Amino acid sequence: MKLKVYNMEAKQVSEIELSDRIFGMKWNPDLVHQVVTSLKASVRQPAHAKARSEVRGGGRKPWRQKGTGRARHGSIRSPLWIGGGVTHGPRKEKNYSKKINKKMKKAALFSILSRKAADGELIVIDAITFPEEKTKHASAFLHILRQKKIIEPKKSALILLDKRESKRPFRNLPHIHTEEVRNINPLEALSHKYLLFTKESINGII
């Protein structure tokens, strides 16, 4: 598979040959769903309700045992009291993570990359260089890409860079995220409409 390579003015300057082993795979929705679900589960934080022993305060008996006419109580942190502990509430010890082997994760990523390439949602830029590492330059560059209809307005894009390329100019832009290409995973790749590579970073995959 061949893909167009654009410069900073959104003009085609060359083509790049993509490996069919990575970018020519069939779409496998079942595998992608399984891997993405496992990645989401692995970062899920369990809810935690404090038991009466974990709630602050309540060291003193609220009133004496007899003679007041009120019901007897030993602590204001009892589950019977507002602000007290919770009986049988969710605990943080619960583990939601699911194990997925490396081959499945890699196959799911290649399936997503192949689908993105086939749908025209994988963009390769010759090199991303700015006179200064400022947001205004990154914004102007993305504006050109939208003007030339290479990417759609208000659609999210993940810019994948080589470790030597700076992510700083893109930090404050809405709908734009940056990541080192070596850290790409199926969940991130699927969470964005467009994947933007530089020629340097895509060579890290092909």
Give me 126's structure tokens: 């010759």
- Cβ(160)–Cβ(195) below 8 Å: yes
Per-residue model confidence as pLDDT tens digits over 105-116? 999 999 999 999
- Cβ(193)–Cβ(115) below 8 Å: no
For 29, counting Cβ atoms within 10 Å of its Cβ (0-12 exposed, 13-18 middle, 19+ buried), the class is: exposed
Helix locations, 12-72, DSSP H: 20-23, 29-42
pTM, rounded to two decimals: 0.81
Report d(CA 126, CA 8) in Å as an integer: 8
What is the predicted pLDDT for the residue at 1? 81
DSSP label of 27: P
What is the predicted pLDDT for the residue at 139? 95
What is the predicted pLDDT for the residue at 206? 63
Q: Give backbone dihedrals phi and psi of 116, rounded to 5 degrees, phi first.
A: -60, -45
Average pLDDT in the chain: 93
| Cα–Cα nearest to 84, from 48, 61, 56 | 56
Q: Mean pLDDT over residues 132-140, rounded? A: 94
What distance, in Å, lies between the first and last C-alpha atoms of the chain?
11
Confidence check: pLDDT of 135 > 90: yes
- Cβ(145)–Cβ(10) below 8 Å: yes
What is the predicted pLDDT for the residue at 205? 80
Question: What is the band of 8 on the pLDDT scale with cuts at 50, 70, 90?
Answer: very high
- Domain architecture of the chain: domains with CATH: 2-28+100-202 (3.40.1370.10), 45-95 (no CATH)
Per-residue model confidence as pLDDT tens digits over 54-91? 999 888 999 999 999 999 999 999 999 999 999 999 99
Torsion of CA 10, 108, 104, 177, to 10 degrees: 50
